[in-house]
Structure 1
Amino acid sequence: MELSKYYYIYCPKDIKSRYHLLVFDRQNQPFLPLTDFYHDYKGRISESSALSYIQNLLPFFTWLDLYSKYQGETVHWNDKPDAIRVAIEDYLMGEMSCKIIEKDSFRFVNRTHKSPNTVNRFLSSLKSFYKSMKRLKQYGHPSPLIDAHSVVHEYKNHTEGVRIGKPRMPDIAGTEDLIPHRRLTESYFKLINEEWEPEIIDDPHLPYQVYQAGKKVKWSLREMVIARILFESGARASEVIEVTIGDYRRRKSFQELKTFTKGSHRRRVKFLRFSKDTVKLLIRYINTERKKLDILHRSFDNLPDEAPLFLTEAGLPFTYPAWYYHWSKAMKSSGLKINPHKARHWFVTTRLREIYNVSTTENEVAQRRAQLIKYMKWKQEDTIKTYEHHFDEEKHREVHDNMLDNMKEKEKEYLQQKKKKRKKPKVALAHKNVPIEIDEDIQGLLKF
């Protein structure tokens, strides 16, 4: 029998509630700490990111109820920091296969080959949860995810000067050692060598696997269009789902639409481009499925610019959580472990491959590379280096294989030449029983 778990559901449309989403515990009772956390962060970050935090925390809260122990007692989320930290350590080691290295005031967390790639996201989600609970005055202790000693040490470095017992002089005085500008790592659990790296998705058939998975669960035109735009444009899901009719109209080409990006505060600062086939499906969706859901049954030409491009079955603006339900259902049905963001990684990998294939000079590679960075709206150009490293390694393998093939051919040539040298040359000798004819003039000379 499957154990009950923490879970969430969206508030039914016919029920009035200040909660858009409700989290329930193992006894099917509303669990307000996670519910309040979601709504607190939904106003601070994107709705999809807030939902991701909840999804990362639900397994931990289920485990906390079932298996956590501290001094013989089950650990609760609002216990003292020491108890919470012990529980998190146990969870990281037992459920996430991490190795923990103890330090005086914090813990190093080292992932193993068995660890999921969500360790960092889990710790970030948990840290955000306790920040929220402190802000909402629902947790009465210091955050268990903060290394208080690091905070105090950093404060002393910024306040104590070279003069004993006196405050630090301002930097302009020139009497104090400069403090290196760095971001304070105040986490109690610190991941070792855990720098974010984009995934290299180099399977040319990945989009078509996703489309087939969607057809299997009978995706509507809406879901299929969104999936195609994700793979063809390299966009984040929210950048596609939450656009308007005007965002689509304002571009010169029907193959493009304007959208926002991460950190642009909903300002339309980038554009997405997709195929002509997807354009046909999009227009068909707007004039058929969407028209039926629209309260006034308007077609594309009659819709106002502010109207959402995608609608729910209730005629409301489509949202990331509502779309993700359809995506998740298709992936589970086909046994695919593909989150939506992998479409973005696949796009970048595929675009770089095309850049290397069509460019004939290093200048062309650099120019097209810069165009891709500008299109993706990356703030840091270093983001592309991981992808390029993949192609550098691939190019090395190709060149190395050619070298090995040449070595194999040279080895064959050498062995053949050596074999020829060992054979003795054949000399034609006259048989003793065979008569030899000699010219008469020469015979005459031989008699003398």
Structure 2
Amino acid sequence: MVFKYWYNYRPEGVESRFELLVFDPRNEPFLPLTEFYQDCLGKISKSSALSYLKSLLPFFGWMELYSNYQGKRIQWDDHPQVIREAFETYLMDEMACKIRENNSFFLVNRTNKSPNTVNRFLSALKSFYKSLIQLKQYKYSNPLVNSQSILEEYTNQTTGARKGKLRMPTVAGTEDPIPHRRLTDSYFKLVNEEWRPEIIDDPHLPYRIYQAGKKVNWSLREVVIARMLFETGARASEVIKLTIGDYRTRKSFQEVNTFNKGSHGRRVKFLRFSKDTVKLLFRYINNERIILDSFNRNFEALPDNEPIFLTDSGTPHNYNAWYYHWNKAMNKCEIKLNPHKSRHWFVTTRVNEIYNTSKTKAEIEQRKSELIKYVRWSNSSTIEIYEHHFDEQKHRESHDRMLEHMKKNEKEYVEQNKRKRKGKSFLPSLETTKEFKIDDKIQEFLDGLE
């Protein structure tokens, strides 16, 4: 038996206030996590709520199987100090983090073995106890909230230079200004968290995913969405929530308008995809979708505000319903791939193409600028990480050519010595006395070597 916590969505036709149920390793309903997910709905997006839940499931399984406090297994509703003991051990043993105590809180440092989900896990567990306290199911204070820390921070920011006096107003100009930053009440603070995109340069990745979908009988809807993800670099929600009007408002039949992260639904960017995907899209709208539409409307008859993609029950498609089919395909073919990685694959492929086909540095810079505007990064410096990857790749290629040349010279040298021993003619020795001028930049580099 696989010892883990898991969840399942509420079956159609079943009445329940829960959208999903979480089960423990004995396949019994586990209400604390079920209640937590339900409480998150309406406060954060469904995809974020599900992401939080998924990051907590391994921890609860570990806590039941491996946790230890004074010879006993730790329970989720134990005293905050006990929960923190379990949390600290889990971060070190299971997430390969380094923990350092700093006054009244702990600093969490990720290592190169730590997953990218540490920050999400910290936020999820803190949110879990916040929900259970509000639901009156946890009788203590939040184990992940350090009230002492925020009190000290507040005291430091309000105490003035004059002994026993409060700070003077900023406009007075008599005391150094305090750097503006949000007070944090987290007991565990991640101190080296820096988001870095993943470099995914497997050229066959999209086709592996399409084949995985074929094995689980993806409908045309899932095929079109998957193709759009890899061909456009969009986030899944930006594709799933497209409307008929998003397509009609573009001049090109290969493009759609869509929203961006933080645009609050405003259509601020466009996506471009292949002609083959356009054909599949129209085949879906006028065949598969028309059956699910309550009025059996084809593309021409649909109003602009109608969603392009529908669920099997005829309602607007959503991330959770779509992810079920994606995850089913990944599990079937034993592929570990978060759908967001299609976005990383797209950018990796585009940057590679820019460097391979551009003829001048000016052309590279122009095309990079175009990509940045298309992807709509909030920080344009993100592309530097991808560039760094290809700088390294170019070095590998050049280095391989050098090694091949060295191998060839080695063979020539061995062959030369064999012929010399046999008294036969041999390759002329290398001329070492010939003078040549070293480039100034190379000379500067040589001088700087230690």
Residues 228-267 of structure 1: pairs in structure 2 closer than 5 A:
228-267=227-266
Amino acid paired to 1:76: Q
Counterpart of 1:2? 2
* 1:345, distance to aligned residue in structure 2 (A): 0.2
Deviations 1:333-388 (A, max 9, x none): 11211110110000000111112123222222222212211111211112222111
User: Partners of 2:290 and 2:259 in 1: how far apart?
Assistant: 25
Mean alpha-carbon deviation: is it higher for 61-70 or for 165-174? 61-70
Counterpart of 2:362? 363
Residues 131-280 of structure 1: pairs in structure 2 closer than 5 A:
131-136=130-135, 138-184=137-183, 186-191=185-190, 193-280=192-279
Residue 21 of structure 2: SS of its match in structure 1?
strand
Contact kept, 8 Å, 2:245 with 2:304, in 1: the verdict is yes
User: Partners of 1:132 and 1:170 in 2: how far apart?
Assistant: 37
Counterpart of 1:105? 104
User: Partners of 1:31 and 1:197 in 2: how far apart?
Assistant: 35
User: Partners of 2:156 and 2:55 in 1: how far apart?
Assistant: 35
User: Partners of 1:394 and 1:28 in 2: how far apart?
Assistant: 48
* 1:160, distance to aligned residue in structure 2 (A): 0.8
Mean alpha-carbon deviation: is it higher for 93-102 or for 74-83? 93-102
Answering whether residue 429 of structure 2 is matched by residue 418 of structure 1, we say yes
Counterpart of 2:125? 126
User: Partners of 2:430 and 2:310 in 1: how far apart?
Assistant: 78
Counterpart of 1:315? 314
* 1:161, distance to aligned residue in structure 2 (A): 1.0
Contact kept, 8 Å, 2:110 with 2:192, in 1: the verdict is no
Contact kept, 8 Å, 1:373 with 1:381, in 2: the verdict is yes
Mean alpha-carbon deviation: is it higher for 161-170 or for 75-84? 75-84
* 1:131, distance to aligned residue in structure 2 (A): 3.3
Deviations 1:8-31 (A, max 9, x none): 222233234443233334455544
Rate the CA distance shift 1:406–1:166 in 2: closer, same or farther, 3 A. same
Residue 271 of structure 2: SS of its match in structure 1?
strand
Counterpart of 2:443? none
RMSD across aligned positions (CA): 2.8
Amino acid paired to 2:348: T
Amino acid paired to 1:82: Q
Rate the CA distance shift 1:412–1:76 in 2: closer, same or farther, 3 A. closer
Rate the CA distance shift 1:57–1:324 in 2: closer, same or farther, 3 A. same
* 1:408, distance to aligned residue in structure 2 (A): 7.3
* 1:192, distance to aligned residue in structure 2 (A): 5.2
User: Partners of 1:182 and 1:395 in 2: how far apart?
Assistant: 41
Mean alpha-carbon deviation: is it higher for 161-170 or for 118-127? 118-127
Rate the CA distance shift 1:349–1:2 in 2: closer, same or farther, 3 A. closer
Query: What percentage of residue pairs aligned between the two structures are identical?
Result: 65
Contact kept, 8 Å, 2:247 with 2:255, in 1: the verdict is yes
* 1:239, distance to aligned residue in structure 2 (A): 1.0
Counterpart of 2:341? 342
Counterpart of 1:392? 391
Rate the CA distance shift 1:166–1:277 in 2: closer, same or farther, 3 A. same
What are the ranges of 5 or more consecutive residues in structure 2 without an aligned counterpart? 417-426, 433-450
Deviations 1:231-262 (A, max 9, x none): 00001111111222222222222211122221
Contact kept, 8 Å, 2:2 with 2:25, in 1: the verdict is no
Counterpart of 1:291? 290
User: Partners of 2:151 and 2:100 in 1: how far apart?
Assistant: 22
Residues 80-91 of structure 1: pairs in structure 2 closer than 5 A:
80-91=79-90
Residue 2 of structure 1: SS of its match in structure 2?
coil
Rate the CA distance shift 1:265–1:17 in 2: closer, same or farther, 3 A. farther
Rate the CA distance shift 1:172–1:305 in 2: closer, same or farther, 3 A. same
User: Partners of 2:293 and 2:221 in 1: how far apart?
Assistant: 14
* 1:94, distance to aligned residue in structure 2 (A): 3.5
User: Partners of 1:411 and 1:181 in 2: how far apart?
Assistant: 63
User: Partners of 1:144 and 1:283 in 2: how far apart?
Assistant: 53
Rate the CA distance shift 1:20–1:250 in 2: closer, same or farther, 3 A. farther
Residue 267 of structure 2: SS of its match in structure 1?
coil
Rate the CA distance shift 1:418–1:358 in 2: closer, same or farther, 3 A. closer
Amino acid paired to 2:359: T
Residue 325 of structure 2: SS of its match in structure 1?
helix
User: Partners of 2:231 and 2:319 in 1: how far apart?
Assistant: 19
Mean alpha-carbon deviation: is it higher for 368-377 or for 112-121? 112-121
Largest Rg, 1 or 2: 1
Counterpart of 2:46? 47
* 1:284, distance to aligned residue in structure 2 (A): 0.5
User: Partners of 2:275 and 2:134 in 1: how far apart?
Assistant: 49
User: Partners of 1:181 and 1:60 in 2: how far apart?
Assistant: 35
Rate the CA distance shift 1:266–1:35 in 2: closer, same or farther, 3 A. farther
Amino acid paired to 1:305: D
Rate the CA distance shift 1:348–1:315 in 2: closer, same or farther, 3 A. same
Answering whether residue 331 of structure 2 is matched by residue 325 of structure 1, we say no
Mean alpha-carbon deviation: is it higher for 411-420 or for 282-291? 411-420
Mean alpha-carbon deviation: is it higher for 354-363 or for 95-104? 95-104
User: Partners of 2:53 and 2:99 in 1: how far apart?
Assistant: 24
Rate the CA distance shift 1:334–1:28 in 2: closer, same or farther, 3 A. closer
Counting matched residue pairs gives 420
TM-score computed with the length of structure 1 as normaliser: 0.85
Residue 23 of structure 1: SS of its match in structure 2?
strand
Counterpart of 1:75? 74
Counterpart of 2:445? none
User: Partners of 2:36 and 2:304 in 1: how far apart?
Assistant: 34
Contact kept, 8 Å, 1:48 with 1:238, in 2: the verdict is no
